[in-house]
Amino acid sequence: MSTLIINIQELVQVREENVLKISGDLMKKLPTIKDAYLLIENDTIIDYGSMKNVDGITADKTIDATGKIVLPTWCDSHTHIVYAGDRSQEFVDRINGLSYEDIANRGGGIINSAKTLQNTSEDDLYNQSITRVKAVMKLGTGAIEIKSGYGLTPDAELKMLRVIKRIKQDFPIKVKATFLGAHALPLEFKENKQGYLDQIINVMLPQIAKENLANYIDVFCEKGYFDLNDTEQILKAGQQYNLPSKIHVNQFNAFGGIALAVKYNAISVDHLEELNQEDIEALKNSNTMPVALPSCSYFLSIPYTQGRQLINAGLPLALASDYNPGSTPSGNMNFVVSTACIKMRLTPEEAINAATINGAYAMGISNQYGSITKGKKANLIITKPISSYNYLPYAFGDNHIETVIINGEII
Ligand code: NIG
Ligand code: FE
């Protein structure tokens, strides 16, 4: 089955060569073709070009995109979209004066979500989660990373990862799974953190590897959660099972987690609301993608990641949603891109590069996703008629998407 999209006002993020990530000043460039066509066959992009050269190209189906923009779908490299229930009461508690930390200290936060998830059946968890997966696909997300980390027991962590595996099998969206056993210390290990780390390393990891349930390993490297020594144990154990790391780091405190992640060749370091010069130096000449999560900053009223500073230092930057019940109950990547422009002062070109090709890199899939390139997956957003791609982040909070195509399928 082939589809030809014609009269595209502007075809965005066209990369002739299969680049894997975009860094520094190059992020300001977003290659496009005006008045373009795009040809897909089954799940693959096979051709594109100027409408001047469309003669003779035929397809089973034609879509007229007059006045519309076509771009690759968003690549959301950091989510916790599999969770049970919600934490709307904690949201109200924060409005009334409690901090995120206060809530965690009284047994709320991640521990609260874990309690709910432990008491939710696998099928119920799957059903709650796919409602969100369907919603983000409609909002233009075509590839997504999903973490465990709201289980915190061997059974519940495996339950989460099995749900992620089912999502991977049942939906056209590309899914990568990350094991985040070290998300918080369960109450029963309050006085025995090493005991929990040992359980992660000696009980959970071998089973997860055996069932092939994870692509990456993660840890919440943060004061009051897991320190550098704990983090190193987790990253080392992950390496033994061929799980590269993607870690939560520098959300509230900067204390050397980024350099440690780079030492272990982490594929990404995520959050980075608190950054110092050593962190930036550590990222230079590394393969590690810094990932900013502006919706989290928005929701928790914490600083935004200094994306400008990272890009100005010649580094790449990815943007992701962090969709989760505690710090970011939204998976809308359109809002992420807008917020990055409005609050982090990224240009639309930088933000779109960060949310497509660089997001794909942070999931290890940029050879197949994240740009309009021959041979890549047919994952496309067709907008409503709009004046230019600048309009997407500019007119924030509104849905400018008309059609989403994932793996060649109209969603
Ligand atoms: O990425 N920071 C750690 N983990 C999640 C939020 C966890 C929660 O509050 O449920 C995050 O923000
Ligand atoms: Fe997160």
- Ligand 1: which residue has its CA nearest to atom 1? 322
> Is residue 80 within 8 Å of 157, Cβ to Cβ?
no
> Is residue 176 within 8 Å of 364, Cβ to Cβ?
yes
Q: Which of 252, 253, 322, 327 to mutate to test the pocket of ligand 1 (most atoms within 8 A of CB)?
A: 327
- Ligand 1: which residue has its CA nearest to atom 8? 326
**What value does the mean pLDDT of the chain take?**
97
pLDDT tens, position by position, 296-310: 999 999 999 999 999
Question: What is the identity of the amino acid at 153?
Answer: T
**pLDDT at residue number 104:** 87
pLDDT tens, position by position, 17-60: 889 999 999 999 999 999 999 999 999 999 999 999 999 999 99
**pLDDT at residue number 135:** 98
Rounded average pLDDT over 109-134: 97
All residues at 6 or more sequence positions from 214 whose CB lies less than 8 Å from its CB, including other chains: 148, 161, 177, 178, 179, 208, 243
Q: Which of 148, 183, 223 to mutate to test the pocket of ligand 1 (most atoms within 8 A of CB)?
A: 183
Categorize the per-residue pLDDT at 106 as very low, low, confident or very high, splitting at 50, 70 and 90: confident
- Ligand 1: which residue has its CA nearest to atom 12? 327
Strands 268-271 and 289-292: parallel
Q: Which atom of ligand 1 is nearest to the CA of 100?
A: 9
**pLDDT at residue number 107:** 85
Question: What's this model's pTM, rounded to 2 decimal places?
Answer: 0.96
> Is residue 286 within 8 Å of 264, Cβ to Cβ?
no
All residues at 6 or more sequence positions from 102 whose CB lies less than 8 Å from its CB, including other chains: none
Distances (CA, A) of 74 to 92, 186, 252, 294, 402: 31, 34, 27, 15, 15
DSSP codes of every residue in 320-356: ----BTTTB----HHHHHHHHHHHH---HHHHHHHHT
Tell how far the Cα of 402 is from the centroid of ligand 1, in angstroms: 31
Tell how far the Cα of 177 is from the centroid of ligand 2, in angstroms: 13
Distance CA 292, CA 355 (A): 10
**pLDDT at residue number 177:** 98
Helix (H) / strand (E) containing 134: helix 122-138
Is the pLDDT reported for residue 116 higher than 90? Answer: yes
> Is residue 68 within 8 Å of 38, Cβ to Cβ?
no
How many C-beta atoms surround the C-beta of residue 24 within 10 A? 14
Distance CA 165, CA 142 (A): 16
Q: Which atom of ligand 1 is nearest to the CA of 222?
A: 2
- Ligand 1: which residue has its CA nearest to atom 9? 326
Is the pLDDT reported for residue 331 higher than 90? Answer: yes
Q: Which atom of ligand 1 is nearest to the CA of 110?
A: 10
Please report which ligand is nearest the Cα atom of 252.
1
> Is residue 381 within 8 Å of 139, Cβ to Cβ?
no
Categorize the per-residue pLDDT at 185 as very low, low, confident or very high, splitting at 50, 70 and 90: very high
Q: Which atom of ligand 1 is nearest to the CA of 87?
A: 10
Categorize the per-residue pLDDT at 92 as very low, low, confident or very high, splitting at 50, 70 and 90: very high
Please report which ligand is nearest the Cα atom of 110.
1
Q: Which of 98, 180, 248 to mutate to test the pocket of ligand 1 (most atoms within 8 A of CB)?
A: 248
405 CA to centre of own chain? 18
**pLDDT at residue number 18:** 85
> Is residue 315 within 8 Å of 305, Cβ to Cβ?
no
Q: Which tokens hold the place of 403?
A: 């059609």
Q: Which tokens hold the place of 99?
A: 């901090």
- Ligand 1: which residue has its CA nearest to atom 5? 327
> Is residue 201 within 8 Å of 265, Cβ to Cβ?
no
Question: What is the identity of the amino acid at 95?
Answer: I
Please report which ligand is nearest the Cα atom of 325.
1
pLDDT tens, position by position, 158-181: 999 999 999 999 999 999 999 999
Tell how far the Cα of 209 is from the centroid of ligand 2, in angstroms: 22
Residues within 6 Å of ligand 1 by CB = 109-110, 113, 220, 248, 251, 296, 322, 324-327
- Ligand 1: which residue has its CA nearest to atom 11? 327
Q: Which tokens hold the place of 136?
A: 């983000």
Give percent of the chain with pLDDT exceeding 90.
98
Q: Which atom of ligand 1 is nearest to the CA of 150?
A: 10
